Copies of this chain bind each other. A is one copy, B any other.
């Protein structure tokens, strides 16, 4: 993506001309499934010109709401606010940079996470060199309006080192000085820590066949046992509903079902991120509901 012009800072809504290659106005990353409508919004439009990759010009409207949003951000003395890119499926914090008004405007408009580089004093869209864009599905402002989340889906690793995210240095690992302190360990939340643990057990089976035994390894080595466990845990979860058992019991059985299902996913080389991507796409088109309505009604 290349910006031929730039959004102008405006104190009042008036026409702005800019040209952005390869983007429509607010194109949704999944345009066939969700389509934001700006019709009938009833506010005075501000015109802008967006050039598609084909070279044709498409008239679009920058509107007063757009300007109002940009005005509402509490830009600091350098005209910046913190911008955090987060993976919409896993919740991983991919990277953090700063946005100025133009960077936020371009992100909202192009749906590609865009920042302001303080060292180069210029806009940069994550991925413009590596092609690992972060496709923005939503943008959130915090209560103080000085911090922004770009909630999106990365095309590939975000960090310039090739790591999935920029956060792979654990302070406690360094302090603990364990044998693992030289291993990079991405900041992972609970579900993905479990996923990493299961993967580690599988590696251990291959690299340390006589290593410490574990239940996960046993499941990985015995499909029949694993399948019977997934079935059993689903049954136990159901039973907590049928027998009106307490909440703790339900949470516990769901934990067991999740864990055993994730061992199965590992054997099939399917990540939770892939599962959640399917989930997101289904729901963005009311998929699960519609699919099941079609099947069952």
Binding site for B on A (CB under 8 A): 26, 36-38, 41-42, 63, 65-66, 68-69, 82, 84, 86-93, 95-96, 108, 138-145, 147, 149, 151, 159-161, 163, 166-172, 174-177, 187, 189-191, 193-194, 197, 213-216, 218, 223, 226-227, 230-231, 233-235, 237-238, 240-242, 247, 250-252, 254-259, 261, 264-265, 267-270, 274-280, 282-283, 286, 288-290, 292-293, 296
Contact = CB atoms under 8 A, between A and B. Distances in A.
B283 A193 contact: yes
A163 B143 contact: yes
B279 A172 contact: no
Given A231-B238, A278-B251, A194 B283 contact: yes
Given A254-B270, A270-B250, A279 B240 contact: no
B89 A93 contact: no
A237 to B, nearest CB: 6
| Interface SS majority for chain A | helix
23 contacts: A65-B177, A69-B175, A82-B96, A86-B93, A91-B92, A96-B147, A138-B170, A138-B171, A140-B167, A147-B167, A214-B289, A216-B288, A227-B241, A230-B234, A230-B238, A231-B234, A237-B264, A247-B269, A250-B268, A251-B277, A251-B278, A255-B279, A259-B288
B230 A171 contact: no
Contacts of A215: 288-290, 292-293, 296
Contacts of A68: 174
Contacts of A95: 142, 147
A91 B267 CA distance: 25
A233 to B, nearest CB: 8
Given A151-B189, A189-B86, A38 B69 contact: no
A167 B288 CA distance: 27
A145 to B, nearest CB: 8
Contacts of A38: 175-177
A167 B168 CA distance: 24
A187 B270 contact: no
B170 A89 contact: no
Contacts of A108: 171-172, 175
Contact of A189 (B82, B89, B257): B89
Given A176-B36, A177-B41, A88 B237 contact: no
